[in-house]
A and B are shown apart, each in its own frame.
Chain A
Amino acid sequence: MSFTGPLSIITLVPLLSGLILLVLPNVLPSDISMRMKASVRNVAIGLSSAIFLLTTLIFVGTIGQIDWLSIGMGDYVLETEDPVWLIESIGVTWHLGTDALSFPMIWLTTLLIPISMLVQWDAEDGHSFHSLLLIMEGALIGVFVSLDLFVFYIFWELTLVPMFFLIMIWGGEDRKYASMKFFIYTFTASVLMLVGILVMYFNTVADPNYAGTLTGHHFNLVLMTEQSRVDGLINSEGLRHFVWLLLLIGFATKMPSVPVHTWLPDAHVQAPTAGSMLLAGVMLKMGAYGFLRIAVAMFPESTLTFVPLLVFLGMASLVYGAVVCLGQTNLKRMVAYSSVSHMGLIFLGIATMQPLGFAGALFMMFAHGIISPLLFAVAGSFKHHYHTLEIGSMRGIAHHSPFLAGHMMLGWMGSLGLPLLAGFVAEVAIMIAFWMTFGWWVLLPALTLIFTALYYLTSMQKMIFESDDPHIGKLPDTMHDEEPRDVTWHENAGMFVLGVLTILFGILPFIFWDMMSVWSTEFIQTYLVHAMNMLEASP
């Protein structure tokens, strides 16, 4: 299996076809390109749905062959067998594989792409818009499947490009500032991460299969993890901590965690709906994914040493995000800060160093990946039909746009962690694990969740229900004399799918939960327990 395995296909096909669809209409003669432009969105959504089906098949159809629950730690399914060289001299290979950490994220990506296309079905210049989304899909999946740090880094940077253009071309009023800030923050952080990766690279030992012919080192993540488990990747403790911190900066900026989160609200508010959905749904999870896959797995001792830092960052994000939410009048900005808050929970889950906490963090990644796109889809359709994002400008949506109101309620309930919805599972798991590790400190994050409930419930009361006159409500000034409408069919369809999944994964979380918790248990046993013993031995 080289470039033809299923994982290669779901990575490369969207990437290449997106590029072709983007370039082709610009070089063909105008009459053909006019017709082509009109059908690009059909091709794009067809392709991405096909890829979604393929990914689902990989999961469902191969349950007999792939026993997700018994994949050992450090093993990957669908892994590329022989090294397929990209640069043999320095040891870069095309090496893909997936496990319980990455697979839900891949599935989520393939799901969100067609849905975000559907929600913004009528985007201006749709031929470029939808092909950029396809490129985005390839880049995002690439991040989750590549087991070679060089390729991982390239995909990591590649996700910036389509998102940057999505914000800059289709964004709101202040799009230039937002896209510039987005680019500078995430780019600078990832360059720091690259320095960390290079230090790791120079400490790898020569491997007969994967080492570069010139340098004698390799970028292979599997081998690096194994080396760090057996011998330790970097001997000097100070250097190890330094690299860990570099990686933390790279990943925490992407997540984002509090001191470096400021790009997120701006990017979200200005981004087009589909862009926001992908940004919140998948791109933020790249940070948590990379943190677990690289920083925690390779430097467990550093992670244990820095647990207080993680707790601090997590708590700060959680509390700060929730408090700032309370004061927001802009719908998207509010949802963006609630994302910051939820990402804080992921850090808390990891900081517990409990299997349950890890599994909770993984499930939070997944659940937030369904709920926050729903929230942004709702905010986007609200903007689309009411031409504003101000929370106070509108009363009684339920009366004018019952579907929009229904989706909005479901999304907000999911986000505040109502039982039987997907977010609840993750929050409860993290809280219990937190209690097991830190005891009654759990009251701090738990009480913050009340804030979350508070800000959702107040805005819900204001926007959806409260109206002076049950027949008219209050319409925002931006409507002028337009008749209020409900959502269009394609927005409705997209949000409907997300809503159903929110409920489905609330009632039947074990679809992904089981493999996540098994993975977490093994992860802790394989990497962390050894490190804990080491630390206890030398206080």
Chain B
Amino acid sequence: MILSSSEAAAMAPEMAIMAGILFAILVPNLGDAKARIPLTSFKFPILWGGTRFEITSDPRAPGIISTVSLAVACILSLYAIESSDGKTISGVMEITGFGRFMSMVFTAALAITAAASIYRIPSTKITVDDAKDADERTTLSLMDNRRQVDLHILLMMVALGMSLMALSTNLFFLIVCLELASMASYVLVGFHKESRIGGEAGVKYFIVGSIASATGIYGMSLLYLWAGSLDFAGLSASWAAMDTLDPLAGIGVGLMLVAFGFKVSAAPFHLAAPDAYSGTNAPIAGMLATASKAMGFVAMMRVLVGFAAPNEAVTAWAPALGVLAIITMTWGNLAALSSENPKRMLAYSSVAHAGYMLAALAALGSGLADSNTQDLLQMAIVFHLSVLVLFKMGAFLVLTLLEIEGTGKSISDMNGLARRDPIVASSMFVFMLSLAGIPPLSGFLSKFLMINGLVTTTTDTGAATAANAMSWLQSVDPYFLLALAIVLNSALSLFYYLRIGLLMFFEEPVTDSPLPKAPLLRVAILVSMVLTVLFGLGPASEWLLSLVETAISTF
């Protein structure tokens, strides 16, 4: 498959990631090897193999390559949002503003992950003392370099898979891309193979994940049986033509929901998530909570909104999704309340957030929303997914700092963080408040849009003449309860988010030693914090919302 130049230009972000992968393979192998021209004694350098150059085989190089290429891909995607014109490529992809917006979100999350991994899984500088002789030193250095290359290539693979997934117009291609990203992320979760807990997390995540995927693929095959096509357009037409729900189609969509439900960690498919998050290292956990979740939601929206949108005859999945949403958010929040491991707590909080977004999806499928409200609900989900990269990832970055120091396993490691490092602690507090949805932070704006969408969808169904709140509540459409559930759950979640703040500001620190330096990581934390605030109020939030609006208009 050869791309024309205009197609290649349209896929510039993916090209940047591909270039990053190639560089990560090639650059460390550059060396002084020479080739002899046959039959002569003349040798010329081919720069491949032999003794590696000091500078290119530096174990720090892959990290820099992946961070830069992912950041470039992110910026390219940002610029492509407005100008994407719906060009189709190979019949399976369509370059839309929506796809570009999502690839911006994915690559931003992964760029931050890559930058944080530079510190979290550092390259060890091999000194003369570590090795017996120069040969061994080179060997150790190379091994270290290989490990770095593996890690960062995997990260870029995840980004590539996700980015392509957002562009796909074909269910089969979508699943393939999803699997590309998933497979890479399974390895990433178990990347810390030295620790028992890391390996366990990886295996658990892999087994549960692949069963979920298998279920989804089975569902896809049923859909193929039913419609004879896996193109979204074809599926959509078949769905719209149904008078009553075809069991084949219903079961197919239901099974696909299992696969995607695992990705977004919706109850009851979330059980592996807390183990995976707490077993792996913090940047990777952050990636799972932001990019991976966003990927799951995009896939879900593609299936549920893209072709299985309920028509007048068939409103099948929305009530089920609504019930699932309430279970998910409540389960997540209740479990987070009693978590003593900060990563586990954030994992459950991520489950709760999945519940909020599922609620918005359920309202989309309720058939009550008019087209404006449908746009609003989709915007709320996409906006939430994009700002989640800031504050959810930011919280994991703070945990990364603690992990580098060797702590961060227990919630009491947060004790007195404000005294040890006021800036990091204040940032963490802002992230917590934003996760809880306190105005004027961006977490509030996204949650507010969701509640707004839910309320606008349903309030008109309530009896205007109801004498009191109770009878009004009985007359209103049950989807209104989703809005109520979000509000109540947000109140519940305040307890564990504020608890972190209390620990950081009121407890005595265990040690007085300063947190690790990690300049790039600190910059990332600070930028996330500032953007969390800016995207909640004022022109920056308007700008992001208008981008989201553009994205949704081309969904």
B439 touches A157 (CB 8 A): yes
Out of A90, A168, A195, which one reaches B452, CB within 8 Å?
A90
List the A residue with the shortest CB-CB distance to B537. Answer: A86
A202 touches B459 (CB 8 A): yes
B440 within 8 A of A: yes
Out of B448, B471, B538, which one reaches A86, CB within 8 Å?
B538
Out of A157, A176, A188, A194, which one reaches B506, CB within 8 Å?
A176
Q: Report Cα–Cα, A422/B203, bound state, in Å.
A: 75
A236 touches B459 (CB 8 A): no
List the A residue with the shortest CB-CB distance to B418. Answer: A168
A236 touches B468 (CB 8 A): yes
CB distance from B467 to the nearest CB of A (A): 7
Please indicate the chain A residues that have their CB under 8 angstroms from the CB of B471 in the complex: 238
A154 touches B440 (CB 8 A): yes
Please indicate the chain A residues that have their CB under 8 angstroms from the CB of B469 in the complex: 236, 238-239, 241-242
A168 touches B538 (CB 8 A): no
Please indicate the chain A residues that have their CB under 8 angstroms from the CB of B472 in the complex: 236, 238-239
Interface membership of chain B positions 520-555, coded 1 if the CB is closer than 8 angstroms to chain A and 0 otherwise: 000000000000000001100110010000000000
B491 within 8 A of A: yes
| 30 pairs, CB–CB < 8 Å, chain A vs chain B | A85-B542, A87-B541, A88-B542, A89-B449, A89-B541, A89-B542, A89-B545, A150-B440, A153-B439, A154-B440, A154-B537, A157-B438, A157-B439, A184-B498, A187-B498, A191-B491, A191-B494, A194-B439, A195-B487, A214-B376, A215-B456, A216-B456, A217-B452, A236-B464, A236-B467, A236-B469, A236-B472, A238-B467, A238-B470, A239-B469
The residues in B between 332 and 350 inclusive whose CB is less than 8 angstroms from any CB of A are: none
Please indicate the chain A residues that have their CB under 8 angstroms from the CB of B537 in the complex: 86-87, 92, 154
A24 within 8 A of B: no
B455 within 8 A of A: yes
The 6 lowest CB-CB distance pairs between A and B, nearest first, are A238-B468, A238-B469, A239-B469, A154-B440, A89-B545, A202-B455
List the A residue with the shortest CB-CB distance to B451. Answer: A198
Q: Report Cα–Cα, A242/B469, bound state, in Å.
A: 8
The residues in B between 107 and 158 inclusive whose CB is less than 8 angstroms from any CB of A are: none
CB distance from B114 to the nearest CB of A (A): 28
Q: Which of B448, B452, B506 gathers most chain A CB within 10 Å?
A: B452
Interface range for B: 20 to 34
A237 within 8 A of B: yes
Interface membership of chain A positions 64-90, coded 1 if the CB is closer than 8 angstroms to chain B and 0 otherwise: 000000000000000000000111111
A497 within 8 A of B: no
A87 touches B439 (CB 8 A): no
Q: Report Cα–Cα, A236/B471, bound state, in Å.
A: 10
Interface membership of chain A positions 155-174, coded 1 if the CB is closer than 8 angstroms to chain B and 0 otherwise: 00100000000001000000
Q: Is the interface of B mostly helix, strand, loop or mixed?
A: helix
A180 within 8 A of B: yes
A215 touches B494 (CB 8 A): no
A235 within 8 A of B: yes
CB distance from A191 to the nearest CB of B (A): 7
CB distance from A205 to the nearest CB of B (A): 13
B506 touches A87 (CB 8 A): no
A235 touches B545 (CB 8 A): no
List the A residue with the shortest CB-CB distance to B459. Answer: A202
B287 within 8 A of A: no
B449 touches A90 (CB 8 A): yes
Interface range for A: 20 to 34
Please indicate the chain A residues that have their CB under 8 angstroms from the CB of B448 in the complex: 90, 198
B505 within 8 A of A: yes
Interface membership of chain B positions 449-464, coded 1 if the CB is closer than 8 angstroms to chain A and 0 otherwise: 1011001100100001
List the B residue with the shortest CB-CB distance to A88. Answer: B542
The residues in A between 211 and 270 inclusive whose CB is less than 8 angstroms from any CB of B are: 214-217, 235-239, 241-242
B542 touches A202 (CB 8 A): no
B466 touches A87 (CB 8 A): no
B417 within 8 A of A: no
List the A residue with the shortest CB-CB distance to B463. Answer: A236
Please indicate the chain A residues that have their CB under 8 angstroms from the CB of B368 in the complex: none
Q: Report Cα–Cα, A460/B438, bound state, in Å.
A: 46
The residues in B between 462 and 497 inclusive whose CB is less than 8 angstroms from any CB of A are: 464, 466-472, 487, 491, 494
Q: Report Cα–Cα, A150/B542, bound state, in Å.
A: 16
B78 within 8 A of A: no
Please indicate the chain B residues that have their CB under 8 angstroms from the CB of A214 in the complex: 376, 379, 449, 452, 545
Out of A187, A198, A215, A237, which one reaches B376, CB within 8 Å?
A215
List the A residue with the shortest CB-CB distance to B542. Answer: A88
Q: Report Cα–Cα, A110/B438, bound state, in Å.
A: 28
Please indicate the chain A residues that have their CB under 8 angstroms from the CB of B541 in the complex: 87, 89
B502 within 8 A of A: yes
The residues in B between 419 and 446 inclusive whose CB is less than 8 angstroms from any CB of A are: 438-440, 445
Q: Report Cα–Cα, A194/B439, bound state, in Å.
A: 9
CB distance from A430 to the nearest CB of B (A): 33
CB distance from B168 to the nearest CB of A (A): 28
List the A residue with the shortest CB-CB distance to B546. Answer: A89
Out of A85, A191, A238, which one reaches B466, CB within 8 Å?
A238
A235 touches B464 (CB 8 A): yes
Q: Report Cα–Cα, A188/B498, bound state, in Å.
A: 11
Please indicate the chain A residues that have their CB under 8 angstroms from the CB of B438 in the complex: 157, 191
Q: Which of A88, A188, A214 gathers most chain B CB within 10 Å?
A: A214
Q: Report Cα–Cα, A168/B422, bound state, in Å.
A: 14
Please indicate the chain B residues that have their CB under 8 angstroms from the CB of A180 in the complex: 502, 506
Q: Which of A85, A188, A237, A238 gathers most chain B CB within 10 Å?
A: A238
Please indicate the chain A residues that have their CB under 8 angstroms from the CB of B456 in the complex: 202, 215-216
Q: Report Cα–Cα, A242/B468, bound state, in Å.
A: 10
Q: Report Cα–Cα, A130/B449, bound state, in Å.
A: 38
A237 touches B455 (CB 8 A): no
Please indicate the chain A residues that have their CB under 8 angstroms from the CB of B468 in the complex: 236-239
List the B residue with the shortest CB-CB distance to A155. Answer: B440
CB distance from B260 to the nearest CB of A (A): 27
Please indicate the chain A residues that have their CB under 8 angstroms from the CB of B502 in the complex: 180
